Structure 1
Amino acid sequence: MSEAAEFIDFTLQREASEERARAAKGSADGLRYYGASIGAVRGTVRDAGRKFRPLSHDQVTSLSSELWKRPVFELRLAAVVLLQSHQRLLRNSDLTRIEGFLRDARTAALVDPLAVDVVGPLIHGLTDGSRARAESILDRWAREPDPWLRRAAILAPLRAVRSAGMGADAVLRRTRAAAEQDDNDLVREALALLCAEWAKDHPGRIPSR
Structure 2
Amino acid sequence: MTEVPDVAAAAEFIDRTLQNEGAWYRADEVGYRLGGALASYGSSIGAVRGTVRDALRKFKDMGHDTTVMLASALWGQPKPGSQPVFERRLAAVVLLQTKVQVLRHSDLTRLEGFLRSAQAAELAGPLVSDVLVPLLAGLDHRDRQRAAAVLARWRADPESQLQTAARLLEKELTQ
TM range (shorter): 0.7 to 0.9
Larger radius of gyration: 1
Does 1:65 pair with 2:66?
Answer: no
- For the residues of structure 1 that align with 2:148 and 2:112, how far apart are their CA atoms? 13
Amino acid at match of 1:22: D
What are the within-5 Å matches in structure 2 for residues 32-71 of structure 1?
A: 32-70=39-77, 71=84
- For the residues of structure 2 that align with 1:29 and 1:120, how far apart are their CA atoms? 29
Compared CA separation, residues 73 and 83, structure 1 to 2 (3 A) = same
- For the residues of structure 1 that align with 2:133 and 2:18, how far apart are their CA atoms? 28
Deviation at 1:141, TM superposition (A): 1.2
Compared CA separation, residues 156 and 36, structure 1 to 2 (3 A) = farther
Deviation at 1:157, TM superposition (A): 6.2
- For the residues of structure 1 that align with 2:126 and 2:37, how far apart are their CA atoms? 19
Pairwise CA RMSD of aligned residues? Answer: 1.7
TM-score between the two structures when normalised by the length of structure 1: 0.73
Q: Check whether the contact 1:77–1:110 (CA below 8 A) recurs between aligned residues.
A: yes
| Aligned mate of 2:14, from 8, 22, 38 | 8
Amino acid at match of 1:15: E
The residue that corresponds to 1:117 in the other structure is 130
Kindly, what percent of the aligned residue pairs are identical?
51
> Which blocks of at least 5 consecutive residues in structure 1 are unaligned?
161-165, 169-209
Deviation at 1:143, TM superposition (A): 2.1
- For the residues of structure 2 that align with 1:12 and 1:113, how far apart are their CA atoms? 19
Deviation at 1:137, TM superposition (A): 1.2
TM-score between the two structures when normalised by the length of structure 2: 0.87
The residue that corresponds to 1:132 in the other structure is 145
Residues 151-190 of structure 1 show CA distances to partners (whole Å, capped at 9, x for unaligned) of: 22234368x5xxxxx636xxxxxxxxxxxxxxxxxxxxxx
Does 1:144 pair with 2:157?
Answer: yes
The residue that corresponds to 1:98 in the other structure is 111
- For the residues of structure 2 that align with 1:155 and 1:107, how far apart are their CA atoms? 18
| Aligned mate of 1:78, from 82, 91, 95 | 91
| Aligned mate of 1:24, from 18, 25, 30 | 30
Amino acid at match of 1:35: G
What are the within-5 Å matches in structure 2 for residues 138-177 of structure 1?
A: 138-156=151-169, 167=174
Amino acid at match of 1:102: L
> Which blocks of at least 5 consecutive residues in structure 2 are unaligned?
1-6, 78-83
